[in-house]
Homo-oligomer: A and B are copies of this chain.
Amino acid sequence: MPKLVADDIASLLRKRISSGEWQDAGRMPPERDLAVEFGVARNTVRRAVGFLEEDGTVVRHVGRGTFLATSNPSSMAAVVSRMEGTSPADMMEIRQLLEPAAASFAATNASASELNAVIEAHRIACEASDMPTFEHWDAEFHHRIFACSRNDFLKEIHNLMRILRNQAPWFEMKKRSFSEERRAIYCTEHQLVLDALMRRDPEGASRAMLAHLRTVERNLLGR
């Protein structure tokens, strides 16, 4: 049995909260009690509760206790937690909006060294012999294109999508849809995007990226 660390405690607490366990009054037990209950030191519980506090799940008051934050649907934390339920179909739709644009920006803005980074990611992905390595460098290829786009917000949105895509349901789905043949197709399509970037052809990069994402969508969603 793995030892409980602060992260574990935090996710246990989250579970209890979402199961509505101390919904009444919104008050959690004191840290000292939780420490006994989980069989860890109070310091550890404190760190765990600290995480919940950081993302706004919980509010603490000295002498009073720790309380569930009155859920504000428009808080960042709420938005992020709703995003975790994003469906692959919705995500692919948005990728098809954003990535062609990112590729187009990249064709205009990328510096030589940024472009080299993209090329390198493409090369490693093509040479990869196993699925996880390919997966990783495929994602990196896309990410590095966003990095060329000169729009920090766009970059961060892509980070968000990347994180969401690395969660459990996606992992299964990617594994299921992977095949050697498809990998080869992706490499070819990436190459087309790359060619357009190197030609400094925004229109072409956008088109090539869109075509690629359509392929990915088809494979992923089995349409």
Contact = CB atoms under 8 A, between A and B. Distances in A.
Contacts of A90: 151-154
A185 interface: no
Interface residues of A, number: 60
Contact of A79 (B74, B140, B160): B160
A112 to B, nearest CB: 23
Contact of A74 (B71, B82, B152, B163): B163
B74 A162 contact: yes
Interface string A120-163: 00001000101111011100100000000001111011011011
Interface of A: 7, 11, 14-15, 17-18, 20, 23, 25, 54-57, 69-72, 74-77, 79-80, 82-83, 85-87, 90-91, 93-94, 97-98, 101, 124, 128, 130-133, 135-137, 140, 151-154, 156-157, 159-160, 162-163, 166, 168, 171-172, 175
Given A56-B137, A86-B156, 11 more contacts: A7-B25, A14-B132, A18-B130, A20-B171, A20-B175, A56-B133, A71-B166, A76-B80, A76-B160, A79-B156, A94-B98
